[in-house]
Amino acid sequence: MLIVIEKVLDAGEIRQMRERLGAALWVDGAQSAGSRSIAVKQNLQVDRACPVGRELGNAILGKLGRNPLFQSASLAETIWPPVFNLYRDGGHYGTHVDSALMRLPDGGPTIRSDLSATLFLSQPDDYDGGELVIETEFGGQAVKLAAGDMVLYSSSSLHQVTPVTRGERVCAITWMQSAVADVAARDMLFDLDQSIQALSAGRADDDADIDRLIHVYHNLLRRWARP
């Protein structure tokens, strides 16, 4: 799965968020890297205890909770509080895979990382390099989106951020545990849900064919969702 969700944030929200991030506490991103990833990670990130980061992260979670495409694609059960990162002056993150199990901050429970998300907060023309390259069954897919857009992809994928050679690349990243762990099942549910929404346009609210498709969707979700 590799899905682009456009306009998670609008221009005004991006501007305000970037202004607030200017007052945040930025630290070496290697502090949160694993034993192998630390050797290939060179960036800055907002300290997890920083109130600014927490406030802005909660704002993003609120937007995601009201985004129908995000909800349909992820079936998110638990979402890690967003982390803000910054790449500049050659900053990069070499090829790595996200941890399968992640303990939520402040001693929270451990979640299984099914999906990863990158929300771009810099316009692509503001920096050179900085592509998010995700390895898929069709080869490496380079992603560099407009500010306010998000890419959602499988946490099991190998991926990297190429060196930023000009300007600054600012993003928010997060991970989530889906109610449906199986990737193929989750993808089929997403395709079915998107088809239902498209076919529903212009039909009566009590259309029997649409009702049957919704019935199938929820029974499949009931079968595949974790207990």
pLDDT confidence of residue 71: 97
Give mean pLDDT, residues 177-191. Answer: 97
166 is an annotated ligand-binding site residue: no
pLDDT confidence of residue 33: 61
User: Could you say which DSSP state residue 146 is in?
Assistant: P
The answer, yes or no, to whether residue 69 has pLDDT greater than 90, is yes
The confidence band for 14, taking pLDDT boundaries of 50, 70 and 90, is very high
Matching residue, tokens 């109130």: 51
- List, for residues 109-161, the tens digit of each pLDDT value: 999 999 999 999 999 999 999 999 999 988 999 999 999 999 999 999 999 99
Closest CA to 105 of 47, 186, 44, 190: 47
159 is an annotated ligand-binding site residue: yes
Give mean pLDDT, residues 83-105. Answer: 95
Name, in order, each residue with C-beta under 8 angstroms of 129's C-beta and a sequence gap of 6 or more.
92, 162, 163, 164, 165, 166, 169
Number of structural domains, the chain? Answer: 2
66 and 7 co-located in one domain: yes
3-state secondary structure 50-106: CHHHHHHHHHHHHHHHCCHHHHHHHCEEEECCCEEEEECCCCEEEEECCCCEEECCC
98 is an annotated ligand-binding site residue: yes
pLDDT confidence of residue 11: 97
Q: Which residue has the higher pLDDT, 212 or 31?
A: 212
Tokens of 110: 């451990």
96 is an annotated ligand-binding site residue: yes
pLDDT averaged over every residue in the chain: 94
Could you list the residue range(s) of the whole structural domain that residue 148 is in?
2-178
93 and 138 co-located in one domain: yes
Express as a percent the part of the chain with pLDDT over 90.
88
Matching residue, tokens 């449906």: 180
Rounded to 5 degrees, φ, ψ at 186 are: -65, -40
pLDDT confidence of residue 108: 84
Task: Report the CATH number that the domain containing residue 200 is assigned in CATH.
Answer: 4.10.860
Number of H helices and number of E strands within the chain? 5, 17
Where among 178, 200, 216 does a domain terminate?
178
What Å distances lie between residue 164 and 19, 91, 93, 148, CA to CA? 21, 6, 10, 19
pLDDT confidence of residue 105: 87
pLDDT confidence of residue 35: 54
126 and 210 co-located in one domain: no
pTM of the predicted model, to two decimals? Answer: 0.94
26 and 78 co-located in one domain: yes
The answer, yes or no, to whether residue 8 has pLDDT greater than 60, is yes
Give mean pLDDT, residues 60-65. Answer: 97
198 and 97 co-located in one domain: no
pLDDT confidence of residue 37: 59
